Structure 1
């Protein structure tokens, strides 16, 4: 494995697990202290909000395990079971995201970005699972990479927020980040898939 690939693997594992753990801080601190910008959801679809913020980190924490070639080859049964948990977590978190997206802070642009993210997240993951169940492994791998790119929006959002808010302020940055946290991820995934057709068929 090249140094570049080792770095990518390290970043996938460290950032996925770190962001997942940090995302569960509301379990200890409560929403008001840990996510003050999200408090408006407490007056609306509270259960959908909790479903999203609890189960999305579950999917994120499982992701590096599912992307591990070593685990997939040596522990196929575990890979399948973790895939089921990943899919259920995204189903719950994605539906929660669809419900709370229209109430996103800063208005319609942010709401549309997050709503489309949840929609594509559900569709890509559903297709990946459907192809796996039908033994269409090449198609499964292609769609799970798209799903992974969207799951990693949780990471890119948290990397972008301090910079965006620090430079432009929350009101200006948040609508942009609602799109920037996932559109570039998906573009990179499509670029990767276009460059690695043989890998997808392996």
Structure 2
């Protein structure tokens, strides 16, 4: 599973790296990137936060890896939570502050606001759950937050058939393809959570401290 999640993250991470190089190297300003040059900080925070969140978070879905390295989950969580929150908040900030590009339908902005806010809330709820030592809810909320964060990867797959058949999507078609990426990820997570057998959760001793991460094993 981690390998598949890393592969799903690859295209948006590479695109983010290219955008970072463009901004830091002083590339030519065009109508497509002018909004980023006018205010580069939010997009750089978003790229770095989302890239670390998606790539590092993929390894939280490997129970055998976590069992071999018991300190990994807690240590990674201390990096993943701020990265995820930064990615979500910067995404909301950009949706509110940057001018909407012509290729985006008017519905794209509210969708970004909804899913960015939902990702932030999922991570916070997951953190609250593990502070209460509720491992099942921690796992569920963190998995939902990760699914939303990985939406850009799935959106590459939803856009690809359209691009091969009809070229670059725009307008309402692009909005629906973007929505499909988030919905597919969340649907898969909900299916996986309900498919998993219900078992007693492992208790966490009060003196052990509360680990924080994307997914906790039972």
Q: Would you say same fold, with TM above 0.5?
A: yes
Q: Is residue 21–residue 57 contact of structure 1 (8 Å, CA) maintained in 2?
A: no
Task: Give ranges in structure 1 of 5+ residues lacking alignment.
Answer: 1-7
Cα distance in 2, alignment partners of residues 140 and 179 from structure 1 = 25
1:170 corresponds in structure 2 to: 169
Q: Is residue 71–residue 79 contact of structure 1 (8 Å, CA) maintained in 2?
A: no
Question: What is the 5 A alignment of 1:69-108?
Answer: 69-102=63-96, 103-105=99-101, 106-108=104-106
TM-score, with normalisation over the residues of structure 1? 0.81
Which structure is higher in helix share? 1
- Residue 50 of structure 2 is aligned with which of 33, 47, 56? 56
2:148 corresponds in structure 1 to: 150
Residues 111 and 67 of structure 1: CA distance in aligned 2, closer, same or farther (over 3 Å) = same
Task: Give ranges in structure 2 of 5+ residues lacking alignment.
Answer: 202-217
Q: SS of 2:170's equivalent? A: helix
Cα distance in 1, alignment partners of residues 142 and 109 from structure 2 = 25
Residues 118 and 61 of structure 1: CA distance in aligned 2, closer, same or farther (over 3 Å) = same
Alignment pair present for 1:14 and 2:7: yes
Q: Is residue 52–residue 97 contact of structure 1 (8 Å, CA) maintained in 2?
A: yes
- Displacement of 1:121 after TM fit? 0.8
The count of corresponding residues between Structure 1 and Structure 2 is 195
CA RMSD of aligned residues (A): 2.9
Residues 74 and 196 of structure 1: CA distance in aligned 2, closer, same or farther (over 3 Å) = same
Residues 38 and 56 of structure 1: CA distance in aligned 2, closer, same or farther (over 3 Å) = farther
